[in-house]
C-alpha cells in the first residue's frame, strides 16, 4: 500500500512539474512578441508633422464629399419640383453663399468718367434757369439799354461770377453785340457761350495727377473744411480713378470724426480699394504716412488721402496740414492738393479757399453740391481767386455724381 501512495505522489509531482514548464514557456514566447502600441520614438509622427505635408495635403485627404454639397444644392442643378435628398438642407447652401458674400463684398465697376458732365447736365438746372436762361432772355430784348446791361450785371453777380469777371464779360458782350447788329437767338447763344468759356478758360490742365511715377504712386491730398463733402468726394474720386483703370489706396487721415474713416472705408470696399486708418483722434500725419507706405508696398497708381480740415484757427490748420504734407513728402513729392469747396456757401467758400491757399499749395479745386445751387458762377470766381483750375464738380449724392470738369460742357449745360 505504501508503494501505491508513493507512486501516486510521484506521478502528481511529475505532472505538476511538466505543466509548469509548458505554461512558463508559453508566457515567455508571448512576452517576446513586439507591442502593437506606438512609442515616442516612432518615426511616423515627426514625418507627419512636416510643414510641407501640412501645407499641401494630398487631395484625397481633403474630405472628398465636401465639394459635392454646394453643387447639388445649387438652384441651377436642382430639378424643379423634385424632392432630392440633397434638398433636405435648403438653408445650408444659402447660408454658405450669404457668408461668402459677407466675407467678400461684391466689387462694383463704376461708370466711365468720359461724358459724365453731359450725362449729369440736368443737375445744373437751378443755375441754368437763373444764369443761363436769365442772360439769354435779357440779351434777346429789342433794345439793350443801360438798364438792361445793369440787369445783366446783376444776374452775373447773383450767380457768384464775381465783380472782376462780371465786368469783363459785360464789356466784351457790349462790344460784340454792337458789332453784330441784329441778333438771332442762335447768334446770341453762341456769343454768350464763347464769352463764358473764355472766362472759365480752356488752357488749364484739369486732369487729376494720378499716374504712378518712378517707384511710387501719385499722392493726392484732399483738403477742405468739414461738411463740404470732403470724405464723400475722396470716395467718389476713388471711383473715378478706378473707372479710369487706376489701382488706389485710401488714407483716412481725418481722424477727428470716427465715422469719416468708416465712411471712407465703405467707399473703398465698394471698388476694391484698401483703406489705411488710424485710431480715433490719432495723428493724421501718421495715417497719411502709413497710407503712402501701403500704396508703395501694394504697387498702386494713386494714394488718396482724406485730411482733417478743422478750421478752428488758422494756426491750427496750418500746423496740421503742413505736418501732413511734410510727413508724406518723406516718401516722395505730393502730386496734387485738391481743395473741396461747397458751392452753396458762396462767398464763405471763397474765404475758406483763401485761408487754405495760404497754408498749402492748392493744385486743383473740387466744387461740390453744384446741383443744389443757382450760383454756378462760383466756378469762375474761385478760379480767379486762387489762380487754380476747377478739376471736378459734385452734382449729387450718388456714387457716380462726381464729374471731371469740362468748360464747354459746363457752359452748354448752363445755357440749356
Ligand X SMILES: Nc1nc2c(ncn2[C@@H]2O[C@H](COP(=O)(O)OP(=O)(O)OP(=O)(O)O)[C@@H](O)[C@H]2O)c(=O)[nH]1
Footprint on this chain of ligand X (rule: CB under 6 A): 224, 226-232, 254, 257, 260, 368-369, 371-372, 394-397, 401
C-beta closer to ligand X: residue 94 or 397: 397
Provide, rounded to whole angstroms, the least separation between the CB of residue 232 and ligand X. 3
178 is in an annotated binding site: no
Closest to 339 (Cα-Cα) out of 375, 408, 385, 300: 385
Q: Is 400 annotated as a binding residue?
A: no
Residues 226-257 as b or e (16 or more Cβ within 10 Å = b): eebbbbbbbbbbbbbbbbbebbbbbbbbbbbe
CB of 236 to ligand X, least distance (A): 8
All three cell numbers of 162, joined, read 464775381
The nearer residue to ligand X, 148 or 226, going by C-beta atoms, is 226
How many CA atoms lie within 13 Å of 131's alpha carbon, on the beta-carbon side? 30
Secondary structure class of 362 (helix, strand, coil) = coil
Residue 413 assigned to a binding site: no
Q: Which is nearer to ligand X, 111 or 153 (CB)?
A: 111
How far apart are the C-alpha atoms of 232 and 230, rounded to whole Å? 5
Least distance in Å: CB of 365 to ligand X? 13
Q: Of 110 and 396, which has the nearer Cβ to ligand X?
A: 396
DSSP at 278: -
Q: Which is nearer to ligand X, 73 or 228 (CB)?
A: 228
Contact 410, 250 (CB under 8 A): no
| 224 marked among binding-site residues | yes
- Output the DSSP codes for 71-104: HHHSTTTSPTT---GGGG-HHHHHHHHHHHHHHS
Cβ-closest position to ligand X = 394
> Taking a C-beta distance cutoff of 8 angstroms, is the pair 340, 222 a contact?
yes
Q: Shortest gap between Cβ of 313 and ligand X (angstroms)?
A: 17
Task: In whole angstroms, give the CA distance from residue 125 to residue 362.
Answer: 29
Minimum gap (Å) between residue 308 Cβ and ligand X? 7
> Is 372 marked as binding a ligand?
no
Q: How remote is the C-alpha of 407 from its chain's centroid?
A: 27
User: Which residues have C-beta within 8 Å of that of residue 268, sequence separation ≥ 6?
Assistant: 235, 238, 248, 250, 274, 275
Q: How far is the CB of 120 from ligand X (least distance, A)?
A: 10
Instruction: Measure the CA–CA gap between 104 and 102, rounded to whole angstroms.
Output: 6
Residue 144 CB, nearest distance to ligand X (Å)? 36
Q: Is position 368 annotated in a ligand binding site?
A: yes
Q: Is 302 annotated as a binding residue?
A: no
Which residue number, 335 or 371, has a Cβ lying nearer to ligand X?
Answer: 371
- DSSP letter for 341, please: E
Q: Give the nearer residue to ligand X in terms of CB position, either 165 or 228.
A: 228
227 is in an annotated binding site: yes
308 is annotated as contributing to ligand binding: yes
Q: Which residues are annotated as a binding site?
A: 224-231, 306-310, 368-371
Binding site for GTP, by residue number, is 224-231, 306-310, 368-371
Amino acid at each position: 500500500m505504501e508503494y501505491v501512495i508513493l507512486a501516486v505522489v510521484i506521478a502528481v509531482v511529475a505532472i505538476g512539474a511538466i505543466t509548469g514548464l509548458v505554461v512558463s514557456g508559453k508566457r515567455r514566447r508571448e512576452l517576446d512578441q513586439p507591442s502593437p502600441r506606438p512609442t515616442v520614438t516612432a518615426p511616423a509622427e515627426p514625418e507627419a508633422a512636416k510643414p510641407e505635408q501640412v501645407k499641401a495635403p494630398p487631395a484625397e485627404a481633403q474630405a472628398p464629399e465636401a465639394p459635392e454639397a454646394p453643387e447639388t444644392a445649387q438652384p441651377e442643378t436642382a430639378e424643379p419640383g423634385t424632392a432630392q435628398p440633397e434638398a433636405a438642407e435648403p438653408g445650408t447652401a444659402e447660408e454658405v453663399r450669404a457668408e461668402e458674400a459677407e466675407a467678400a463684398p461684391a466689387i462694383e465697376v463704376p461708370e466711365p468718367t468720359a461724358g459724365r458732365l453731359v450725362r449729369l447736365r440736368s443737375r445744373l438746372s437751378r443755375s441754368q434757369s437763373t444764369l443761363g436762361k436769365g442772360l439769354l432772355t435779357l440779351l434777346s430784348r429789342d433794345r439793350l439799354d443801360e438798364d438792361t446791361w445793369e440787369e445783366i450785371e446783376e444776374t452775373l453777380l447773383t450767380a457768384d461770377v464775381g465783380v472782376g469777371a462780371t465786368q469783363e464779360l459785360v464789356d466784351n458782350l457790349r462790344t460784340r453785340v454792337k458789332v453784330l447788329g441784329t441778333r438771332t437767338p442762335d447768334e446770341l447763344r453762341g456769343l454768350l457761350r464763347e464769352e463764358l468759356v473764355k472766362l472759365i478758360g480752356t488752357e488749364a490742365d484739369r486732369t487729376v495727377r494720378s499716374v504712378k511715377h518712378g517707384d511710387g504712386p501719385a499722392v493726392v491730398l484732399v483738403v477742405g473744411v468739414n461738411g463740404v463733402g470732403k470724405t464723400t468726394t475722396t470716395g467718389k474720386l476713388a471711383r473715378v480713378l478706378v473707372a479710369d483703370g487706376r489701382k488706389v489706396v485710401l488714407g483716412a487721415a481725418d481722424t477727428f470724426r470716427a465715422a469719416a474713416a468708416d465712411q471712407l472705408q465703405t467707399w473703398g470696399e465698394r471698388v476694391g480699394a484698401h483703406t489705411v486708418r488710424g485710431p480715433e483722434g490719432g495723428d493724421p500725419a501718421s495715417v497719411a504716412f502709413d497710407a503712402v507706405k501701403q500704396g508703395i508696398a501694394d504697387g498702386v497708381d494713386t494714394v488718396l488721402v482724406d485730411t482733417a480740415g478743422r478750421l478752428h484757427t488758422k494756426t491750427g490748420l496750418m500746423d496740421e496740414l503742413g505736418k501732413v504734407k511734410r510727413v508724406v513728402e518723406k516718401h516722395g513729392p505730393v502730386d496734387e492738393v485738391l481743395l473741396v469747396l461747397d458751392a452753396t456757401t458762396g462767398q464763405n467758400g471763397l474765404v475758406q479757399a483763401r485761408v487754405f491757399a495760404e497754408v498749402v499749395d492748392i493744385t486743383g479745386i473740387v466744387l461740390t453740391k453744384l446741383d443744389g445751387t443757382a450760383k454756378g458762377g462760383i466756378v469762375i470766381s474761385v478760379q480767379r481767386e486762387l489762380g487754380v483750375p476747377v478739376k471736378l464738380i459734385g452734382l449729387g449724392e450718388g456714387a457716380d455724381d462726381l464729374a471731371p470738369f469740362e468748360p464747354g460742357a459746363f457752359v452748354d449745360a448752363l445755357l440749356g
